[in-house]
Amino acid sequence: MELAAIPFVIFLIAAAAISFFVLKKAVKMAIRAVIVALILIIAVVGGASLWWFGNADKTSDNRAVPVKKTR
């Protein structure tokens, strides 16, 4: 899952850049900055959570138990 965090963040950074330029003529600079900041915050939090919870399955205590043959 940690590999999914990288494209997720890159996608949202691209979305933030595109929305910044699309809103260039329609909205004032302060509102554009707030919208881009919200998208970037979502990208950072989402990427960090994918990274954090993606590592959780590798650090679990589920170890293989050796099987004893009965015969």
| Domain range list for the chain | 2-55
pLDDT number for residue 1: 57
Give CA 8 to chain center in angstroms: 5
pLDDT number for residue 55: 67
Phi-psi domain of 16 (left: phi exceeds 0; alpha: psi -120 through 50; beta: other): alpha
pLDDT number for residue 38: 92
Q: What pTM was estimated for this model as a whole?
A: 0.61
Average pLDDT over residues 45-60: 74
pLDDT in tens, 5-50: 788 888 888 988 888 888 887 788 888 889 889 999 998 888 888 8
Among residues 37, 45, 52, the alpha carbon closest in space to that of 9 is found at: 45
